[in-house]
A and B are shown apart, each in its own frame.
Chain A
Amino acid sequence: MSHRFAIVGLTAAAIVCFSAIAFNQAVRVPGAEYDGDFPNEKPGPAPRRDLTGIWEPARGPGDAIQATGAKNMPDSGRPEHALPFTPEGLKANLANRPAWGPRMVASALSNDPQPTCEPQGWPRIILHNYRTAQILQTPKQVLILYQFNRKWRNIWTDGRANPKVDDFLEPRFWGYTVGRWQDDYTFVAESVGMDERTWLDNVGRPHSWEARVEERYVRRDAKHIDVTLTINDPTYYSKPWVALDRLPLRLQQDTFDIREMECSPSEFARYQKEFAEPAAGVQK
């Protein structure tokens, strides 16, 4: 009996692997390079304190597009993905009506703030739609330009501390972020002050005013960065949780042109009127 289970497991694993390989071979951003293109590659050593370049998910363009929630904690209904909500966090979660996941409603009935071209904010932009990104460094900042909705963030590296999170702090959709090199190949940043209207991911996981988000970039070698993102929000979650665990990004050619992906309110309005509302049976 046990070997039958093994056969089934191996078959499933083969299907999954084949699908992943087939996907990566078939669907790709034109002009981009993926790890699958270089099966025998031995990248050179990582440069010291350097994240600059144009970066694409190394395993394929869909590796970090997560409709059903944070990549490493999707809203799957499985026990290992259950978030450690506090009672207050659970209440906030239930108030959000996502268009994906076990609690999904028709998109026209969702209160998801993002599709209407409202700012998606930090960290949802990479927990939902981590696409091509370009990283620039100046002596005092790390700047990240994201393809999705053409957004950018700045991470201060001039030694300042993050502002105190209190009633006087102005909320920001993208938060306040400072970063530092933990060693020559590990850059760690922390964000505070994210506007509470934003969701953490595409299935409506909430965050409170006290949330802190840590992003960790490990320059593994000349071609890769591994990105880890941790949510620390004691008001809504009883312990920190890892939303993104060592997601590999691959360095692209410096001539790679990032295509435009913009949220247009007029295009969204037409989509809503001609597709989403009839799809949901909404009468107006």
Chain B
Amino acid sequence: MKYALTAFIVTLGILAGSASMIAHHGAATFDTGKELVMEATVTEWVWSNPHCFLKFDAKDPNGTVRSWTVETSNPPDMVNRGWTRRSFKAGDQVKVTVEPVKSGNPVGRLLMATFADGRILSTRGPATQGGSEAAPR
């Protein structure tokens, strides 16, 4: 068990290192390790420096719609992962996995987005299942 715990900690360290790749403007605000999965309706995809960010509406567990803003990394780093400035358009229905901030505000870090057709965009690796390399929208 002790060794399994050691391996787990090592793995966590590696994942933390990976996370540091995608956000260079600070990690202090995030509730590290916590993940929220939401059904989102995209309102805007902002392709800009220092970080791109996605805006969407999603219902909280009480059914109240909240407007979220979640960041990714900068445009060149996102291109390296297969994302483009046209990865989302307003009205897209996507399932998003988000690491929220500690403050409780509807803000966080986008970890993954799954589209209705099964395409997945991840902030920690390349696009999969076609990703955003499909025809620009």
Binding site for B on A (CB under 8 A): 4, 7-8, 11-12, 15-16, 19, 22-23, 26-30, 61-62, 65, 67-68, 99-100, 104-107, 110, 115, 128-129, 131, 147, 202, 259, 261-264, 267-268, 270-271, 274-276, 278-281
Contacts and interface: CB of A to CB of B under 8 A. Distances in A.
Contact of A276 (B25, B27, B46): B25
Interface of B: 3, 6-7, 10-11, 14, 18, 20-21, 23-30, 46, 48-51, 53, 55, 69, 71, 74-77, 79-81, 101, 103, 105-108, 125-126
A260 to B, nearest CB: 8
A188 B49 CA distance: 33
Contacts of B81: 27
Contacts of B6: 8, 12
A168 B51 CA distance: 39
Contacts of A267: 48-50
Contacts of A99: 25-28
Given A29-B80, A104-B27, A278-B69, 13 more contacts: A7-B3, A12-B7, A15-B10, A16-B10, A27-B80, A27-B125, A67-B20, A107-B29, A270-B46, A274-B69, A275-B51, A275-B53, A279-B103
Contact of A261 (B26, B27, B49, B106): B49
A62 B48 CA distance: 20
17 contacts: A4-B3, A15-B11, A16-B10, A29-B80, A30-B80, A61-B80, A65-B24, A100-B26, A105-B28, A131-B76, A259-B79, A267-B49, A271-B51, A271-B71, A274-B46, A278-B69, A279-B101
A271 B105 CA distance: 15
